[in-house]
């Protein structure tokens, strides 16, 4: 699946403002991001197979943990006002002028993280992109408190940019996201400047872009892992974060479709899902082989049965030249023998009247009006009770006949299983 990542600049939209952006064809195959810069009107077009992702720079977001009141999960309409009240004393600006978004799975988290940024700035950029023909499907932070966990580390250090203008960012699942300009770190120790503990040093992943890798290694006291410029965007893209909440929940259906497409694309291309894909293909292949084997056996059994019927027919009636439907042809030959011998069949009038007379319950007078056709006896002016009706149905059924009401009359017919009985 194609993804267009657009980082939102810190300034408000203007005709001369450039947006850093990159196009990722498939997430697992992306090794280097071809980063470019362009005004909103010159950004790449997005088709139905493209997810547009707005990336919020780390310097535009503040992080806070909140203790939500019990029962608030069931009242999402009051959630925004509750967050504003909980964070009012921690924010420098009016909470009504800020946009807030909860972490993924916040309902199952005791103290969820809340990302806060300027509402007017964010909505202005979203509108500028929409005017350029780009619908934003997801809004993700450049870094989030769970970024370190993606590298199996308790603390993640990432240095971006150049030595004179770059920033060093730290992410921790319990302490959030914080950073400092690279220039401010030259005369400080890493532990004091970043508030690192001895425990943090035991599980820390350090990565840096080429322009600051030397300075970061010197500052941290250990070698930093080199990453390509903008490579951390892939981690942001892979996260479950989406800041399009509350007032920014526009295009919800479009985002859901893109989320499904992204999940399918990840399952189809991600190497981590390769064993599952192989297992699914093996399961489908085994089912296909099993169905073919079952169909072959069923057809073989049917052919064997037909051959047995054919053998019985030819042995019983040698004059049969062509066999099309052996059971039906055998029934017809038996019927011809009966007619030739003068033997009564179940569909003859005498047989049907005799069976009806034997099935009549005691005290029920025999019907006086009836009409006969081969295999059918229609009785009129005959009104048995419900109990007598059930007795007739049971007794006649045991004799190979069916008994049912048809309008104001009663109809007695030969059951198919009794057609061949003498």
Domains in the chain: boundaries: 2-275, 287-339, 344-418
How many H helices and E strands in the chain? Answer: 11, 17
Return the percentage of the chain with pLDDT > 70, whole number.
88
Whole-number pLDDT of residue 241: 92
Confidence of residue 7 (pLDDT cuts 50, 70, 90): very high
Residue 394 CA, chain-centre distance (Å), reads 53
For 188-212, what is the mean pLDDT? 87
| pLDDT at position 148 | 62
- What value, to the nearest 5°, has the Cα angle with vertex 30 and ends 52 and 38? 45
State mean pLDDT over 368-392: 85
Please provide the DSSP assignment of 192-214 as one string.
Answer: HHHT--HHHHHTEEEEE-GGGHH
- Looking at the predicted structure, is the pLDDT value of residue 151 above 70? no
pLDDT greater than 50 at residue 370: yes
Lowest mean pLDDT among 42-51, 150-159, 223-232, 400-409: 150-159
Q: What angle do CA 384, 388, 394 make, to 5 degrees?
A: 125
Give the pLDDT band of residue 28 (cuts 50, 70, 90): very low
Q: Is the pLDDT of residue 29 over 80?
A: no
Confidence of residue 146 (pLDDT cuts 50, 70, 90): confident
| pLDDT recorded at residue 178 | 93
Give the mean pLDDT of the chain. Answer: 85
pLDDT at 225: 93
pLDDT of residue 61: 96
The fold adopted by the segment(s) 2-275 is Nucleotidyltransferase; domain 5 (3.30.420)
Question: Is residue 421 pLDDT above 70, yes or no?
Answer: no
Q: Which residues of 336-355 are buried (b: 16+ CB within 10 A; e: fewer)?
A: eeeeeeeeebbbbeebbbeb
Res 253: pLDDT? 54
Average pLDDT score over residue span 366-381: 84
Residue-level pLDDT at 251: 52
Mean per-residue pLDDT, 162-172: 92
| Short-list 62, 66, 72, 7, CA closest to 40 | 7
More confident residue, 336 or 176: 176
Mean pLDDT of 62-80: 81
pLDDT tens for residues 226-282? 999 989 999 898 888 999 988 887 554 555 665 666 667 667 767 777 888 888 888
- 344-418 adopts what CATH topology? Gyrase A; domain 2 (3.30.1360)
Rounded distance between C-alpha atoms, residue 312 and residue 331, angstroms: 12
More confident residue, 288 or 421: 288
């Amino acid at each position: 699946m194609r993804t267009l990542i657009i980082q939102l600049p810190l300034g408000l939209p203007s005709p001369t403002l450039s947006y850093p952006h990159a196009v990722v064809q498939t997430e697992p195959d992306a090794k280097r991001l071809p980063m470019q810069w362009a005004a909103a009107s010159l950004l790449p077009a997005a088709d139905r197979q493209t997810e547009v992702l707005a990336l919020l720079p780390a310097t535009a977001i503040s992080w806070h943990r909140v203790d939500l009141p019990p029962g608030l999960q069931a009242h999402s309409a009051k959630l925004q006002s509750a967050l504003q009240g909980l964070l009012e004393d921690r924010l420098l600006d009016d909470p009504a002028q800020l946009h807030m978004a909860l972490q993924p799975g916040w309902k199952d988290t005791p103290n969820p993280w809340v990302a806060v940024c300027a509402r007017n700035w964010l909505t202005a950029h979203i509108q500028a992109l929409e005017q350029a023909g780009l619908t934003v499907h997801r809004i993700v932070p450049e870094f989030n408190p769970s970024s370190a966990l993606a590298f199996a580390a308790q603390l993640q250090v990432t240095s971006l940019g150049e030595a004179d203008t770059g920033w060093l960012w730290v992410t921790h699942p319990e302490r959030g996201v914080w950073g400092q300009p690279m220039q401010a770190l030259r005369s400080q120790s890493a532990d004091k400047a970043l508030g690192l503990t001895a425990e943090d040093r035991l599980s820390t992943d350090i990565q840096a872009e080429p322009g600051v890798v030397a300075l970061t290694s010197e500052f941290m006291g250990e070698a930093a892992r080199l990453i390509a410029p903008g490579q951390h965007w892939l981690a942001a893209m892979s996260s479950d974060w989406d800041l399009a909440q509350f007032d920014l929940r526009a295009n919800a259906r479009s985002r859901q479709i893109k989320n499904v497409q992204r999940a399918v694309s990840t399952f189809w291309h991600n190497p981590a899902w390769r064993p599952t894909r192989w297992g699914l293909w093996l399961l489908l292949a085994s089912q296909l082989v099993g169905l073919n084997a079952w169909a072959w056996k069923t057809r073989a059994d049917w052919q064997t049965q037909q051959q047995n019927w054919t053998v019985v027919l030819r042995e019983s009636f040698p004059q049969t030249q062509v066999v099309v439907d052996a059971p039906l042809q055998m029934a017809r030959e038996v019927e011809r023998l009966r007619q030739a011998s003068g033997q009564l069949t179940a569909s003859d009038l005498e047989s049907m009247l005799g069976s009806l007379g034997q099935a009549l319950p005691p005290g029920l007078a025999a019907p006086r009006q009836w009409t006969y056709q081969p295999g059918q006896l229609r009785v009129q002016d005959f009104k048995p009770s419900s109990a007598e009706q059930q007795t007739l149905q049971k007794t006649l059924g045991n004799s190979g006949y069916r008994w049912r009401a048809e309008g104001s009359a009663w109809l007695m017919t030969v059951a198919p299983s009794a057609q061949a009985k003498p």
